[in-house]
């Protein structure tokens, strides 16, 4: 198989790798060429666990209580089933890579299974997901800053913006220079703090409920069938790290340990997500918002720690989300264009476009539900299963594997259809 072009990327990458200090520049070159890492096989299992936890830890932790409130207590079962399906599809990615040593990235798997169309399909899903997650960052920042400073409005030349819209613009101006940077070393290390940030947020939420007068008194409802599509979509959004699994597998020293590493990552992250969901639902019940930080009293120390921790990560991660899109767009331009000028133009255009989308569609929960239903479920569950069936040839043999994986695909597609429909209806209905 041909070597992978430089315009392929993964959704998230382990940003601190087990390399010598003098290779930092090389690491960042890899990052800026869309996260493609060489198959070095030098990372210990312990560090691979950290990288996996970092890839799985994200802003989904903020919306997980809302997901539980939308689906009811019994929807927690679907969280565990989603985690199990995502873990299993992660193992299928490993099996696909074992077939061909030339496979080092997620798009490589798509090409090995379905040719160039498979590579393009997977790449498009990743780029669109990156773009919408970056947009969600702006919505998240605007909502939480408005919660802290509700009277921060703006009016000039007949243009009137409320506090949330003003903060979206301010955050975009703060983020813009990071998008135009040639060297993302500082941001790459800051954004690798996802594991610590999730732990701090979970601890802060617990302290807010236990010691700041909120308590855990809400009973909730057993099940809300109408809200299940949204709940499952948001659960799926929490497990959208599959494009980085090939990087983890190629970099781990002892590849026989990869399955165990993946299991530990999923168990720990699922425990964190489930704990946050239960705490948030017990604290605020059906009143919990799409970001639990919006429910917190801003005059309490624990609440401010949670909110400020929530605000820091998106600012640093935004540039890392859109860099692959910038690089891919540059590679589509004719060779005569100045690369630096192209980067500035494309990066600025991307920031402006995400600001517009964030202002037009200011519904964090609905947008993340759409990402989870249409993109995360497809990239994390459906596509790995289809690729494995094609690469292994299991679809020709109606054995247990083919039936089990086929069932997962059918259920995944069903949830994708209903979840996407429900998310679009919610977005349209909110206008």
Give residue-wise pLDDT tens across range 144-182: 999 888 888 777 666 788 889 899 999 999 999 888 876
Dihedral sign (CA 195, 201, 204, 208): negative
**Mean pLDDT in each 10-residue stretch from start to end of the chain (431 residues)?**
39 42 40 41 86 87 95 96 94 93 90 94 90 92 90 74 89 90 67 82 94 91 94 93 89 92 96 96 95 91 91 83 83 67 87 93 89 91 93 79 86 91 87 73
Domain span including residue 252 = 41-429
- On whether residue 221 sits in a domain, the answer given is yes
3-state secondary structure of 18: coil
Residue 48 in contact with residue 259, Cβ under 8 Å?
no
* pLDDT value of residue 188: 67
Give residue-wise pLDDT tens across range 113-146: 999 999 999 999 988 998 999 999 999 999 999 9
* pLDDT value of residue 292: 94
* pLDDT value of residue 5: 40
Give residue-wise pLDDT tens across range 388-403: 999 988 777 777 778 8
CA triplet 420, 424, 430: central angle to 5 degrees?
145
Tell me the C-alpha distance between 6 and 331, whole Å. 8
Structure tokens at 399: 């054995």
What CATH number should be reported for the domain holding residue 250?
A: 1.20.1740.10
Half-sphere exposure of 161 (CA within 13 A, CB side): 16
Tell me the C-alpha distance between 90 and 377, whole Å. 13
* pLDDT value of residue 335: 61
Query: What is the number of structural domains in the chain?
Result: 1
Structure tokens at 338: 């100045």
Tell me the C-alpha distance between 135 and 123, whole Å. 18
- On whether residue 245 sits in a domain, the answer given is yes
* pLDDT value of residue 182: 66
Tell me the C-alpha to C-alpha distance, in Å, between residue 415 and each of 71, 125, 390, 403.
14, 17, 22, 18
- On whether residue 312 sits in a domain, the answer given is yes
The per-type count for the chain, helices as H runs and strands as E runs, is 17, 2
Residue 258 in contact with residue 249, Cβ under 8 Å?
yes
* pLDDT value of residue 338: 63
Tell me the C-alpha distance between 332 and 17, whole Å. 30
- On whether residue 109 sits in a domain, the answer given is yes
- On whether residue 57 sits in a domain, the answer given is yes
- On whether residue 33 sits in a domain, the answer given is no
DSSP string, 97-164: HHH-TT--SHHHHHHHHHHHHHHHHHHHHHHHHHHHHHHHHHHHHHHHHHHH-TT--EEETTEEE-HH
Tell me the C-alpha to C-alpha distance, in Å, between residue 118 and each of 103, 110, 149, 303, 362.
13, 4, 47, 45, 33
3-state secondary structure of 291: coil
* pLDDT value of residue 430: 76
Tell me the C-alpha distance between 238 and 269, whole Å. 9
- On whether residue 1 sits in a domain, the answer given is no
Dihedral sign (CA 158, 163, 164, 169): positive
Tell me the C-alpha distance between 281 and 267, whole Å. 21
- On whether residue 21 sits in a domain, the answer given is no
CB count in 10 Å sphere of residue 39: 16
């Amino acid at each position: 198989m041909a070597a992978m072009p430089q315009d392929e990327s993964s959704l998230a990458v382990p940003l601190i790798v087990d390399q010598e200090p003098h290779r930092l520049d090389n690491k960042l070159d890899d990052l800026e060429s869309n996260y493609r890492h060489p198959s070095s096989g030098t990372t210990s299992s312990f560090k691979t666990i950290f990288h996996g936890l970092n890839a799985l830890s994200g802003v989904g932790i903020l919306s997980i209580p809302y997901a539980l409130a939308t689906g009811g207590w019994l929807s927690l079962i679907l969280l565990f089933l989603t985690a199990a399906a995502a873990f299993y599809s992660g193992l299928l990615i490993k099996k696909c890579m074992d077939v061909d040593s030339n496979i080092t990235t997620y798009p490589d798997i798509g090409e090995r299974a379905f040719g160039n169309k498979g590579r393009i399909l997977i790449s498009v899903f990743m780029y669109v997901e990156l773009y919408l997650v970056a947009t969600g960052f702006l919505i998240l920042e605007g909502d939480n800053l408005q919660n802290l400073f509700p009277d921060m409005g703006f009016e000039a030349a007949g243009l009137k913006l409320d506090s949330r819209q003003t903060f979206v613009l301010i955050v975009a101006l703060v983020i813009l220079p990071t998008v135009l940077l040639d060297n993302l070393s500082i941001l790459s290390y800051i954004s690798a703090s996802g594991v610590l940030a999730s732990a701090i947020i979970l601890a802060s939420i617990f302290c807010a409920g236990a010691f700041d007068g909120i308590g855990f008194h809400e009973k909730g409802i057993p099940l809300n069938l109408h809200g299940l599509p949204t709940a499952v979509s948001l659960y799926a959004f929490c497990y959208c790290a599959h494009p980085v699994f090939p990087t983890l597998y190629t970099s781990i020293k002892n590849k026989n340990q990869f399955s165990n590493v993946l299991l530990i990552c999923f168990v720990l992250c699922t425990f964190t997500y489930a704990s946050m969901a239960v705490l948030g639902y017990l604290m605020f019940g059906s009143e919990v918002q799409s970001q639990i930080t919006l429910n917190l009293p801003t005059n309490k120390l624990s609440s401010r720690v949670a909110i400020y921790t929530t605000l820091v990560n998106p600012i640093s991660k935004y540039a890392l989300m859109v860099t692959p899109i910038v690089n891919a767009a540059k590679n589509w331009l004719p060779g005569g264009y100045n690369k630096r000028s192209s980067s500035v133009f494309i990066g600025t255009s991307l920031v402006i476009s995400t600001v517009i989308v964030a202002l037009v569609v200011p519904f964090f929960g609905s947008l993340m539900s759409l990402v989870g239903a249409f993109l995360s479920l497809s990239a994390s569950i459906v596509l790995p299963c289809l690729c494995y069936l094609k690469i292994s040839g299991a679809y020709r043999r109606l054995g247990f594997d083919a039936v089990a994986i086929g069932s997962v695909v059918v259920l995944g597609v069903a949830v994708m259809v209903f979840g996407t429909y429900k998310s679009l209806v919610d977005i349209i209905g909110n206008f």
